[in-house]
Amino acid sequence: MYADTTARPELLARLCAPDPRRRTLLTGATVVTMDPRTGILPRGDLLIDGSRIAAVGPGLLARGAATDAVVVDVSGCVLTPGFVDTHRHAWQAQLRRVMPDVDDLGTYVRATLLGHAPRYRPHDMYIGTRLAALTALDAGITTMLDFSHNSRTAAHSDSAVRALLDTGIRGVHAAMGPHFGEWDRQWPADLARLRDRYRDDLLTFRLAALATEEIAGPQLAYGPALARTARELGVGVSVDAVFGLPSSRAVLEWERQGLLGPDLTLIHATGLTPEAWRAVGETGTTVALAPTSDAQIGLETAVPAVDEALGAGVRPGLSIDVEVALAGDMFTQMRALHTLQRMRAVNAAYGTGREPSRIRTHDVLDFATAQGARTNGLADVTGSLTVGKQADLLVIRAEDINNMPLNDPVGTVVLGSDARNIDTVFVAGRIRKWDGRLLGVDLPALRAEVHASRDHILGTDG
């Protein structure tokens, strides 16, 4: 056994040495498993065997259950599953907050998808996607679905996929053709090449599409042809821009055509009709909410559809969406949804004598972990600290100045914590962040690449 009480650098060296059979025991933490069978352990241990969780429970160290493991004392910390982002346009990361006060979808589309997107080279796709993935890891997001809708050439797609692989995040590459401008029309056929070329345990693929043809024409709109392509490839489908009456009509048509189901994710789902929600719930179709996107940009009703989803029997995943206008971390999404839903519930009940139907912090953490994994088609892989699942998990310092004293672990994670409190990030048993710092990242070099790419895209590089 090896304890970390004297030499953190030595411990890290041992944990990072190549050894697919290494066993690591995290001991002494409050363990929030997000597995309903195990619940919360006020003081527990977690054993990692290679890439998987081998045991979770109290007193594993004392019982001698991990005599051959590297032991890491994580007393004063909370262990949670890694967060799961169900929808982010990662290629836009070098344009962060370029339009922080955007007021509507049309302005975003014209500025970003019509204006900036055609200037992207394959290298810019790589830089943006890598920056987004590294930032996700830094903030505890261990799985990210990259809705990559600027795939102008096969090389653009290759660059986006390689960026996910190079960061070590659990990546889901959801491929779609661009909205506007010249492109090779290689999508969706090229998705088969990507799936066959890039085989990695941390990488999965999905087909990405839009709900209707209003924004970018019929080729990008989900329907029987794209559903057939996805079935032939054996991948799921993520559908963006699911808004209002046109999308509600589309959902009912998909129900009639037999195109709804658990392998389909509807993103936003804002302003849908009750009949559309009935179809979603009855077919087990998944939903990815984007709380700050809906509210800040003003998408359809501007109200994240959490009540509608829960009313239909759907527990949604959460997503970041676009960093051109929004924050890129899951803490912001959880807090925004928690606050907005509870405000909405109390407002609806005010003066009626009815008890408001409010979600709880445990709900939003569930959305950000287990439900996100299910939405991304990875429920058996990640999303909870369950024996047999991949060791995608966070060590969050609960006794930092902004968190101490630890009274309620879920409340501490959802309402108190941020990226600075994430001490360690594991993805498939490998450490990606340690002592509060990302590993293997040359920050000055990355910064120079990001600035150069941004300047090229904005046309300010001279």
CA torsion angle 307 311 313 315 (round to 10): 10
Buried b or exposed e, range 337-372, using 16+ CB within 10 angstroms: bbebbeebbeeeeeeeeeeeeebebbbbbbbbbbbb
Q: CA nearest 426: which of 24, 19, 11?
A: 24
pLDDT of 6 above 60: no
pLDDT in tens, 235-253: 999 999 999 999 999 999 9
Span 157-165, average pLDDT? 98
Confidence of residue 2 (pLDDT cuts 50, 70, 90): very low
pLDDT of 10 above 50: yes
pLDDT in tens, 335-361: 999 999 999 999 999 999 999 999 999
Domain boundaries, the chain: 8-81+382-438, 83-375
Assess whether the region 8-81+382-438 and the region 83-375 belong to the same CATH fold: no
Span 442-462, average pLDDT? 95
- Of 3.40.50.740, 3.20.20.140, 3.40.50.2300, 3.40.1410.10, which CATH number belongs to 83-375? 3.20.20.140
pLDDT in tens, 28-40: 999 999 999 999 9
- Please tell me the total number of residues recorded for the chain in this structure: 462
Q: CA nearest 413: which of 81, 98, 137, 101?
A: 81
Percent of the chain's residues with pLDDT above 70: 98
| pLDDT at residue 461 in the model | 79
pTM of this structure: 0.96
- Of 3.40.1030.10, 2.20.140.10, 2.30.40.10, 1.10.1380.10, which CATH number belongs to 8-81+382-438? 2.30.40.10
Determine the 3-state secondary structure of 86 from DSSP.
strand
